[in-house]
Structure 1
């Protein structure tokens, strides 16, 4: 499948298999094991933010904000992995692992396209947190039970979790569709972010089953990694980031 935007015709594979996910994970682990310092460096910021939010919200008694933030963390994961994409790209091409160039990958190709995508993702994350808080507030007010475990065990609390989960799943799906291939592509190629988004959506449409399985796998791994005070992200995030790069390389090719 080709997408013709701005004179560039990215070719999107339509034959992804589960074995490609396994191969991407294996390659991702090899990248992390070969250059763990980069993975640990980028993941440490993610962990630090998570731990900081945990203590801020728990100390202030705002647990509902913590739940919303944790649930929305996967929305930020793709952008957090941009530096990891550059590490994998350089290993693939046999290039030197230069800290300046790897950190500079966050700027994209000097045209602000990657930064625009990052801003878009951050706005989406903020929007999700606000929506989640509104859902929580509406259901708490209707139940009149307070905000503790008593409320969460009630019928209204369970309904709230179901509604919040459904809304969160829709938002997560939309962001996954536009970022799963677009962010690696913006690191790899000098294209505008609209072209990258269109290519990402086309890849998902052409390989819906396999890429949705990848999304579910990422969500599950990140959830488990968050449980030990976010520390599991030190390994999970780099491996998934490197693996996503290899999945992108299997899926998208441009002249």
Structure 2
């Protein structure tokens, strides 16, 4: 099921195909990206005005964990274009139901739990390093004090590990749940196998996704209006290149 050969040029081809899909049907990508941008800004505003400033960096860093589930509709749009058909709104929005079972929703719940876990973990790291300093995560003193720098290094390293684990779980499983009638455990196993078999290339893809999504958060999440649709469509094409089915 997992292809024997996956190369760096496959990543470039996936990104190029993702950009073409976005340009061909931008309404779908912009629709999901706008929801994501609005949600991100509302979350940031609520944290800052509600006294939750110490959570703001953790929330911004963990928010991309939810991006794969946001892109589910884009997988369906790319699937329709690949089949030579024009995607419609009912099809794209209906993709959130997967194959009509609860498997995709279960995976979405898993991602939400993961995001919540990261928020708690990140807040714990902040408390360990900064509890006695009186410095909030929105303060520039984070970048000028030894405790702040240590917290950023440790938090960044832990966050990278958490993000990669969720990347490994979802990079192929979410497209597969849109494409095939399989249970989410089988889809997750295939995704982990893909990452395990092609470690270097898939790590490269994870870095590309992480860098583009991180840059897209500034300013005010607006870069996601382009980055999220292109990466969503591209993930579908990478899945189609990496996973094959008999018959």
The whole-number CA distance in structure 2 between the counterparts of 1:154 and 1:239 is 38
Asked whether the equivalents of residues 140 and 151 of structure 1 are also in contact (C-alpha less than 8 Å), the reply is no
Residue 202, structure 1, aligned to residue 188, structure 2: no
Q: TM (normalized to structure 2)?
A: 0.95
Instruction: Give the aligned partner of residue 223 of structure 1.
Output: 214
- Structure 1: gaps spanning 5 or more residues: 1-10
The whole-number CA distance in structure 2 between the counterparts of 1:209 and 1:40 is 31
With over 3 angstroms needed to count, the CA separation of the structure-2 counterparts of 1:151 and 1:172, relative to structure 1, is closer
- Structure 2: gaps spanning 5 or more residues: none
With over 3 angstroms needed to count, the CA separation of the structure-2 counterparts of 1:151 and 1:30, relative to structure 1, is closer
Q: Deviations over 1:51-106 (max 9, x none)?
A: 11122222234222111111012211111100000000000012232211210110
Instruction: Give the aligned partner of residue 87 of structure 2.
Output: 97
The whole-number CA distance in structure 2 between the counterparts of 1:31 and 1:146 is 45
With over 3 angstroms needed to count, the CA separation of the structure-2 counterparts of 1:124 and 1:24, relative to structure 1, is same
Alpha-carbon distance, 1:145 to partner: 3.6
The whole-number CA distance in structure 1 between the counterparts of 2:142 and 2:234 is 40
The secondary structure found in structure 2 opposite 1:213 is helix
Pick aligned residue for 2:16 from 6, 15, 26: 26
The secondary structure found in structure 1 opposite 2:6 is coil
Q: TM (normalized to structure 1)?
A: 0.92
Instruction: Give the aligned partner of residue 70 of structure 2.
Output: 80
Asked whether the equivalents of residues 14 and 203 of structure 1 are also in contact (C-alpha less than 8 Å), the reply is no
Q: Deviations over 1:143-164 (max 9, x none)?
A: 4343233344210111111111
Residue 169, structure 1, aligned to residue 160, structure 2: yes
Asked whether the equivalents of residues 105 and 187 of structure 1 are also in contact (C-alpha less than 8 Å), the reply is yes
Residue 146, structure 1, aligned to residue 135, structure 2: yes
Alignment RMSD, CA only? 1.2
The secondary structure found in structure 1 opposite 2:169 is helix
The whole-number CA distance in structure 2 between the counterparts of 1:196 and 1:185 is 6
The whole-number CA distance in structure 1 between the counterparts of 2:135 and 2:176 is 46
Q: Deviations over 1:138-197 (max 9, x none)?
A: 2112x4343233344210111111111111111111101110000001001000001100
